[in-house]
Amino acid sequence: MSDSSSSSDLRPDLDESINVQDAHSALKGDPAAGREKAVRENGMEAVSLWLVLISAIVVLAAGAVMGQGGSFFGYSELVKEGYMRTPSPVPQDAPKVPIAALALFQKEGKKVYGTCVACHQDSGLGQTGQFPPLAGSEWVLGSTQALSMIIHNGVAGKIEVAGTQYNGNMSAFGANLNAKELAALMTYIRTSWGNDASLVSPSMAANALEISKERGGGQTSAELLKKSHDKMLPGDILSPDTMLDPETWEPILTEK
Amino acid sequence: MDHTRDNPLKRFSAFWIAILLATSFGIALIITQPFAPDKTDKAYEMVSEGRLEIKDGIDRAQDDALNEAALAEALSPS
Amino acid sequence: MAENNSTADSKDVVLRSSIDRSLRHPVMFLFASGALWLVLSIVLGLVASAKKHNPEFLTCFSWLDAGKVDAAHMSAMIYGWGLQAAFGIIIWLMARLSRKECTASGIILWAAHVWNAVVSYGIIRIMMGEGSGVTYMEFPSEVWPLLLVCYTTITIWSLVQFQVRDAGHVYVSQWYLLAGLLWFPWIAVTAWVFVFLMDGHPLMVAGVAGWFKGTLFSLFFLPVALGSAYYLAPKVTGRPVYSYNIALFGFWSLAVFGPWAGMEKLFGAPVPQFLPYAGAASMILILIPAIAVGYNIIKTVIGNSEVIAESPSLRFTAAGIVLFVVFGGLSVLLHTVPALKLTQFTYTGYGFDVLGLYGVFSLCAFGAIYFIVPRITRREWLSRRFIKWHFFCSIYGISSVVICAIAGGLSQGQGIEDLSQPFGTMAERATQFSWGVTLAWAFILFANLFFCLHLFLMWARLGRRSSHPTLLDAHHPTSPHGPEGEVDNYSSASA
């Protein structure tokens, strides 16, 4: 049907036409297919020598890789010799792992506390009536100077601890402690069993030893402690999460 | 069109040959599977039996000891 | 431009048009749904890449967890976009080269719908956390038989067409398409049987899965891309392929070296040692077909630089082939033993895979799509600008992804070699590079959004009704195609 008016002739392209002649005539005018070039016979250039040369080099490289793989189809070889590497052994002066102050002091302080555990117990509760508790004790949580005097010189006579009266005699169990050990012990008892007081640094403990030396020795008593030693020890303040060198106990300056 | 090449028989056979080719490896596997040697390590299997028995015993004991009611009560918001 | 080639035999014109009309529905659907999956996969890729430098990104959605979104990204790109684009190209190209109309369009269209449904189901299952965890086979195990059946339904007609083609010599592209069509069922059935069906040794499963990952690219996506390039290069320029012998050489080197690929993933695993080394050697040898094909096609189109500048399909195809040569060169560098040691558990593998999948395959597929769609919709592309943006943003994006990922991976590799540091320190070395990758994916998303829009407009028959193609440079005072006219120029039709 070759009507002249193009509007009635505008069949939607997706319909199949029954009239093959008409369908073909529509297709003959298909511009895209018409301007396509036919795919021609391939050129017959030879494989260039450069291509062969480069391929040979690549095959050599691949062969080198293959050669490191043991025998081809060798199914029993599972592990290549020397494939596993171990890290070099740790040298003697390996860098020390820094440790947080609280953790270090608790660890060391617990060791020193071994002397005190017979009376004041592992739980820090002491013996009712006989040995005062350390847990919740105002003498432990309070002024550090008083505590250091008690440890270094001992204490005798009437003393009230956590609401209970005690009348005993504690000798100078801590007389032989050095500053580090004293600081660790005091920190340990001040931060264990529910106690939550500030840490005692080695410099504070060194000052405590000075004060004790000046004092001249001899057991203290509750009244003497309240009168003369009811203050905090002077010295560097230590915060619980300062990173310390595990050997020198000095704070480590971190990159952060 | 070249009528001697493109006929329904050729198309039919091409269809089924293609299906055969595509599944050929699967068929080869099914055929050869029964003939594959049994490479299981007998010594390892025997040792693992004892180990698995112990494991089963522990699992059973743990299941028996598990108190669902207490667990639910502990987990419920109180 | 040789005029005598363009005024082809009218029988040829009618045959071409009738072939194009017979398969317009399935091919157009495959391309359009593929493009949509491509956009989705790039969005998922963006999220996956963002999670590498900002792990807190979108953690409120548990279905977007890092492992799931990585798996979904690659699965959508391969099975949603890659395979559907490949199907469209295979169907059209095999029909054209065998000079046979497609008689099973309805069945293919139906199978394509089923494919889309199955892939969607698989991706949803992955996001629910029920993926299989096997690289490139993330779908739950029951999905595979359905995919294989759909594959057969879609592509078997092309094999039949090849069998009943007119006598005459077999063109280069047909070798590649035929090979790819037969290789894919082999690797897919093998992988499915050994990984999911048989109760085999776990190391063997890992090996077969690695092999599938490698050969999916070298034995399916690559042949389809090369087949399309070998068809478009002579078609658009009107010149013959430079050398038949080089084409033969390139094809057979791919056929010999390709099947060994993939096991290099398993270095250090207690598998027979020759397997990973064979995989590495095969990936080195892929440079040989790369240079052969690259040389052949570049020599075919060179000297005709205006055509590359003007034709969108040729530009994309040439870019894809150039990137294939780059892929080959990079493959040699990355698969030597020292490089493998550095890059084994790093970002580099991802960059390399994306280069193959997007840089080589997808660019050649875009070239084919820009050629095929005007022919099956009988409309021309609407906007030159969209095509240019698609091209340049894709090139920029893919280069950035590849460079950042590979450089990041090498940096991570140096971190791995420091045996005293923990793994986390090493993994963090690629954080800056993953920013680059995220940005690059954003560019690629931009490019492909426009591509998708353009394609959908063409699908809706809203393209230009013109007898002239959409060329990228329109500076001709007079067109070599004669006066421009309406596409349905019935006044020229005879009674």
**pLDDT tens, position by position, C385-416:** 999 999 999 999 999 999 999 999 999 988 88
List chain C residues with CB under 8 Å of A59: 285, 288
User: Please, which residues have CB within 8 angstroms of residue A185's CB and are 6 or more apart in sequence?
Assistant: A109, A112, A113, A116, A151, A174, A177
How many Å apart are CA C39 and CA A72, to the nearest integer? 44
List chain A residues with CB under 8 Å of C229: none
Candidate from A10, A45, A72 with C-beta closest to C274: A72
A37–C8 C-beta distance less than 8 A: yes
Compute the average pLDDT of residues B2-14.
Answer: 79
Neighbours of chain B (3+ CB pairs under 8 A): C
C206 secondary structure, DSSP code: H
Residue C324: pLDDT band (50, 70, 90) is very high
How many Å apart are CA C64 and CA C58, to the nearest integer? 7
Query: Between the ranges A46-60, C30-44, C272-286, where is the mean pLDDT highest?
Result: C30-44
How many Å apart are CA C204 and CA C211, to the nearest integer? 10
Q: How far is CA C178 from the centre of its chain?
A: 17
pLDDT tens per residue across span C145-176? 999 999 999 999 999 999 988 877 788 999 99
List chain C residues with CB under 8 Å of B10: 163-164
A34–C6 C-beta distance less than 8 A: yes
The correct answer on CATH 1.10.760.10 for the domain covering A99-244 is: yes
Beta strands (DSSP E) in chain A are 99-100, 155-161, 164-170, 243-244
A62–C241 C-beta distance less than 8 A: no
Residue A105 pLDDT:
87
pLDDT of residue A3 exceeding 50: no
Q: Residue count of chain C, please give it.
A: 495
A62–C281 C-beta distance less than 8 A: yes
Query: Among residues C124, C116, C113, which one has the least CA distance to residue C44?
Result: C124
Nearest CA in chain C to B10: C164
Report the gap between the CA of A247 and the closest CA in chain C (Å): 22
Nearest CA in chain B to C192: B26
Residue C76: pLDDT band (50, 70, 90) is very high
Candidate from B6, B17, B29 with C-beta closest to C164: B6
How many Å apart are CA A128 and CA A162, to the nearest integer? 11
Residue C215: pLDDT band (50, 70, 90) is very high
How many Å apart are CA C55 and CA B4, to the nearest integer? 65
Dihedral of the alpha carbons of C317, C322, C324, C325, in degrees to the nearest 10: 150
How many C-beta atoms lie closer than 10 Å to residue A113's C-beta?
19
User: Please, which residues have CB within 8 angstroms of residue C307's CB and are 6 or more apart in sequence?
Assistant: C236, C237, C301, C314
Residue C493 pLDDT:
35
Q: Given CB atoms, is A34 within the 8 Å cutoff of chain C?
A: yes
B18–C100 C-beta distance less than 8 A: no
Calculate the average pLDDT of chain C: 89
How many Å apart are CA C399 and CA C391, to the nearest integer? 12
List chain A residues with CB under 8 Å of C375: 32-33
Compute the average pLDDT of residues C137-141.
Answer: 93
C358 secondary structure, DSSP code: I
Residue C369: pLDDT band (50, 70, 90) is very high
How many Å apart are CA C126 and CA C134, to the nearest integer? 11
- What are the helix and strand counts (H, E) for chain B? 3, 0
Report the gap between the CA of A250 and the closest CA in chain C (Å): 25
Residue A5: pLDDT band (50, 70, 90) is very low
Least confident segment among A31-45, C223-237, C306-320: A31-45
Q: Given CB atoms, is B45 within the 8 Å cutoff of chain C?
A: no
pLDDT tens per residue across span C334-358? 999 889 888 888 899 999 999 999 9
Residue C362 pLDDT:
97
A32–C374 C-beta distance less than 8 A: yes
Query: Among residues C21, C2, C308, which one has the least CA distance to residue A40?
Result: C2
Residue C6 pLDDT:
43
B59-67: long-range contacts, CB 8 A cutoff, minimum separation 24:
none
Candidate from A58, A68, A83 with C-beta closest to C287: A58
List chain B residues with CB under 8 Å of C160: 11, 14-15, 18
Residue A23 pLDDT:
60
b/e burial code for range B12-45 (CB count within 10 A of at least 16 → b)? eebbeebeeebbebbeebeeeeeeeeeeeeeeee
Residue C486 pLDDT:
66
pLDDT of residue A6 exceeding 60: no
Cβ–Cβ < 8 Å for C382, C464: yes
Candidate from C160, C167, C189 with C-beta closest to B5: C167
pLDDT of residue A8 exceeding 60: no
Residue C198 pLDDT:
83
How many Å apart are CA C183 and CA C90, to the nearest integer? 14
List chain B residues with CB under 8 Å of C159: 14, 18
How many Å apart are CA A68 and CA C489, to the nearest integer? 68
How many Å apart are CA C272 and CA C314, to the nearest integer? 45
C219 secondary structure, DSSP code: I
List chain C residues with CB under 8 Å of B5: 164-167
User: Please, which residues have CB within 8 angstroms of residue C492's CB and are 6 or more apart in sequence?
Assistant: A29
Residue C481: pLDDT band (50, 70, 90) is low
C263 secondary structure, DSSP code: G
- Residue A10 zone, left/alpha/beta (φ > 0; ψ -120 to 50; rest): beta
Candidate from C164, C167, C193 with C-beta closest to B26: C193
The CATH architecture annotation of domain C14-464 reads: Up-down Bundle (1.20)
Compute the average pLDDT of residues C439-468.
Answer: 91
User: Please, which residues have CB within 8 angstroms of residue A246's CB and are 6 or more apart in sequence?
Assistant: A96, A97, A98, A99, A104
**pLDDT top residue among C274 and A30:** C274
Cβ–Cβ < 8 Å for C433, C350: no
Residue C333: pLDDT band (50, 70, 90) is very high
Which two tokens mark A137? 């004790």
Which two tokens mark C452? 């998708």
Nearest CA in chain C to A26: C493
List chain C residues with CB under 8 Å of B1: 166
Residue C358 pLDDT:
96
Q: Which residues pair with C464 in a beta bridge?
A: C380
Residue C203 pLDDT:
86
Compute the average pLDDT of residues B32-45.
Answer: 78
Tell me the C-alpha to C-alpha distance, in Å, between residue A96 and each of A108, A239, A244, C117, C420: 17, 20, 10, 60, 14
Residue C27 pLDDT:
96
Residue A1 pLDDT:
39
Q: Given CB atoms, is B50 within the 8 Å cutoff of chain C?
A: no
Residue C190's Cβ-count burial label (10 Å; 0-12, 13-18, 19+) is: middle
Residue C3: pLDDT band (50, 70, 90) is very low
C467–A36 C-beta distance less than 8 A: no
What ranges do the domains of chain B cover? Answer: 8-75
List chain B residues with CB under 8 Å of C164: 5-7, 10-11, 14
Q: Given CB atoms, is B1 within the 8 Å cutoff of chain C?
A: yes
Residue B31 pLDDT:
87
Q: What is the ipTM of this complex?
A: 0.81
Q: Given CB atoms, is B36 within the 8 Å cutoff of chain C?
A: no
Chains B and C, touching by 3 or more CB pairs within 8 angstroms: yes
C245 secondary structure, DSSP code: H
pLDDT tens per residue across span A200-243? 888 888 888 888 888 887 888 888 888 888 888 888 888 888 88
Q: What is the largest CA-CA distance in chain B?
A: 87
Compute the average pLDDT of residues C300-322.
Answer: 88
Cβ–Cβ < 8 Å for C221, C258: no
Rounded to two decimals, what is the model's pTM?
0.74
Candidate from B2, B14, B17 with C-beta closest to C167: B2
**pLDDT top residue among C471 and C280:** C280
Testing the interface with C: which of A8, A25, A36 to mutate, by most C Cβ within 10 A?
Answer: A36
Report the gap between the CA of B65 and the closest CA in chain C (Å): 32
How many Å apart are CA C92 and CA C41, to the nearest integer? 25
Q: What percent of chain C has pLDDT over 90?
A: 62
Residue C378 pLDDT:
86
Residue A90: pLDDT band (50, 70, 90) is low
Cβ–Cβ < 8 Å for C144, C121: no
Report the gap between the CA of C10 and the closest CA in chain A (Å): 7
Residue C494 pLDDT:
32
C156–B15 C-beta distance less than 8 A: yes
Testing the interface with A: which of C14, C28, C486, C487 to mutate, by most A Cβ within 10 A?
Answer: C14
C142-148: long-range contacts, CB 8 A cutoff, minimum separation 24:
C143/C118, C144/C188, C144/C192, C144/C196, C145/C192, C146/C114, C146/C118, C147/C79, C147/C115, C147/C118, C147/C119, C147/C188, C148/C185, C148/C188, C148/C189, C148/C192
A167 three-state secondary structure: strand
Residue type at position C172: V
